[in-house]
């Protein structure tokens, strides 16, 4: 259950901004549409100059995770293969919890050119497949190790560089997106859809002898709609002495048992049971990032930190359910952070290799009320809140 909660928070945070990012490069006009320079500059020289001025980006920095290259072809496809190794491997003794996961994210996109009435837009879709953990562990808190998970489908619209303040050079991009509940977790939560958006503000320095720098700030907000006011799973009423007898077939007989036994009040007429817990209704997030790139764009180092406020479904005012030990808090806070290095492979298509460390912690504070270090969990590594990752992104 803990890993499922972590997975949901990570998913909500990632979908809020769809990625921690910079605005994508402006699409240069086709060479045939660009007037020749007075000095007799050729169209090929003009194209080389435009390509040189194009800032280096990667899938972890571009809005929506989509890198818009200089090609005039409107259709695009981007595939990212991510491998992550949890820091539970470094926990001492019996606390060691190995977590090794893989995910494949596929993002088709359509670029719509700017007109006299509309800005340039990128319409994208996103869906992913993942194996939560390749290594069986007795306390992984999940029954789905070494099984392929299907993620939710996401559709969005990106308005890159919709505004730029001329004096400071600060640019802004907008992202709007929605999610269809295809994953098992979302369906158990009875999620109908999740909608929201983000505004990304970015400032980039001019090129210097040691490269260029950027600073980016992304506020985001999302809200969720559900078909029922609680998560449900197939279950049954409390077992009697007769029903508690184990099946004669210890293997196939397990299919005869419900996923859980619930109290009478939890069992619904359709044979499902309302699980304890409260559905997240809305999220508000803020993230900041700064980075450095070499002049040729081949190397990039980025550090980021984020904070998310998760608003929960309010509790009913029922005195019989109140307790001096229960909290009426209607929100949860979480923190995140990353440190990554990206190498842009010098090929004719977009190919990025990224490695680093990412942390998604279920609280922004420790038990003493101190702010947790956002990039790495030094205190409770067995929880696998932090992980080392290796990404390969291919774009065509």
Read off the pLDDT of residues 348-362 as tens digits, 9 standing for 90 and up: 888 999 999 999 988
Q: Which residue has the higher pLDDT, 259 or 17?
A: 259
Segment 33-44 shows an average pLDDT of: 41
DSSP state, residue 115: -
Range with the largest mean pLDDT of 39-48, 178-187, 226-235: 178-187
Q: Where are the domains of the chain?
A: 2-23+53-231+277-322+332-395, 237-276
Within 10 angstroms of residue 243's Cβ, the number of other Cβ atoms is: 11
Are 18 and 65 a contacting pair, CB within 8 Å?
yes
Burial of 196 (0-12, 13-18, 19+ CB in 10 A): buried
- The answer, yes or no, to whether residue 66 has pLDDT greater than 50, is yes
Q: How many helices (H) and strands (E) does the chain have?
A: 3, 16
The pLDDT of residue 28: 31
Read off the pLDDT of residues 132-160 as tens digits, 9 standing for 90 and up: 888 876 555 555 567 888 999 999 999 98
Distance CA 113, CA 178 (A): 22
Segment 99-115 shows an average pLDDT of: 91
- The answer, yes or no, to whether residue 239 has pLDDT greater than 60, is no
Return the percentage of the chain with pLDDT > 90, whole number. Answer: 36
Token pair of 291 as six digits: 């980075």
Collapsed DSSP state (helix, strand, coil) of residue 274: strand
- 197 contact partners, CB below 8 Å, separation of at least 6: 174, 175, 176, 177, 220, 221, 222
> ∠207-209-214 over CA atoms, to 5°?
40
The pLDDT of residue 221: 97
Confidence of residue 392 (pLDDT cuts 50, 70, 90): very high
Distance CA 174, CA 78 (A): 20
Q: Which residue has the higher pLDDT, 242 or 311?
A: 311
Confidence of residue 251 (pLDDT cuts 50, 70, 90): low
- The answer, yes or no, to whether residue 35 has pLDDT greater than 90, is no
- The answer, yes or no, to whether residue 328 has pLDDT greater than 60, is yes
> ∠395-210-50 over CA atoms, to 5°?
45
Token pair of 264 as six digits: 């009478």
CATH 3.40.630.30 matches 2-23+53-231+277-322+332-395: no
pTM across the whole model: 0.75
User: What are the beta bridge partners of residue 277?
Assistant: none
Segment 74-80 shows an average pLDDT of: 90
Four-residue CA torsion sign, 311, 312, 317, 321: negative
**Per-position DSSP letters for 226-246, written without gaps between them:** ESSSS-EEEEESPP-TTTTSP
Confidence of residue 22 (pLDDT cuts 50, 70, 90): very low
């Amino acid at each position: 259950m803990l890993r499922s909660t972590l997975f949901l928070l990570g998913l909500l945070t990632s979908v809020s901004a769809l990625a921690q990012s910079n605005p994508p490069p402006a699409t240069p006009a086709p060479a045939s549409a660009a007037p020749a320079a007075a000095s007799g500059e050729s169209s090929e020289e003009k194209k080389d100059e435009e390509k040189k001025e194009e800032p280096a980006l990667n899938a972890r920095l571009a809005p929506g995770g989509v890198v818009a290259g200089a090609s005039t072809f409107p259709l695009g496809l981007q595939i990212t293969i991510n491998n992550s190794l949890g820091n539970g491997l470094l926990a001492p003794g019996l606390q060691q919890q190995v977590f090794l996961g893989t995910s494949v994210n596929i993002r088709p996109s359509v670029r719509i050119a700017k007109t006299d009435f509309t800005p340039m837009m990128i319409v994208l879709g996103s869906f992913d497949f993942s194996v939560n953990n390749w290594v069986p562990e007795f306390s992984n808190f999940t029954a789905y190790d070494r099984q392929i998970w299907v993620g939710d489908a996401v559709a969005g619209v990106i308005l890159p560089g919709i505004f730029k303040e001329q004096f400071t050079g600060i640019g802004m991009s907008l992202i709007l997106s929605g999610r269809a509940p295809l994953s098992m977790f979302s369906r158990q939560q009875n999620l109908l859809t999740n909608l929201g958006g983000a505004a990304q503000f970015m400032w980039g320095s001019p090129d210097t002898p040691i490269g260029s720098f950027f600073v980016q700030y992304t506020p985001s907000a999302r809200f969720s709609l559900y078909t029922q006011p609680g998560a449900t799973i197939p279950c049954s009423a409390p077992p009697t002495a007769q029903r508690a007898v184990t099946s004669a077939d210890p293997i196939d007989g397990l299919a005869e048992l419900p996923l859980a036994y619930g109290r009478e009040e939890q069992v619904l007429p359709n044979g499902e049971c309302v699980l304890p817990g409260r559905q997240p209704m809305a999220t508000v997030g803020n993230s900041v990032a700064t980075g450095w790139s070499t002049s040729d764009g081949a190397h990039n180092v980025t550090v980021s930190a984020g904070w998310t406020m998760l608003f929960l479904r309010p509790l009913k005012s029922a005195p019989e359910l109140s307790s001096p030990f229960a909290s009426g808090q209607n929100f949860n806070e979480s923190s995140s952070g990353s440190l990554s290095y990206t190498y842009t492979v010098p090929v004719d298509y977009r190919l990025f290799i990224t490695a680093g460390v990412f942390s998604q912690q279920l609280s922004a504070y420790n038990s003493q009320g101190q702010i947790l270090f956002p990039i790495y969990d030094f205190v409770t590594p067995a929880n696998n809140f932090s992980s080392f990752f290796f990404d390969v992104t291919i774009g065509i």
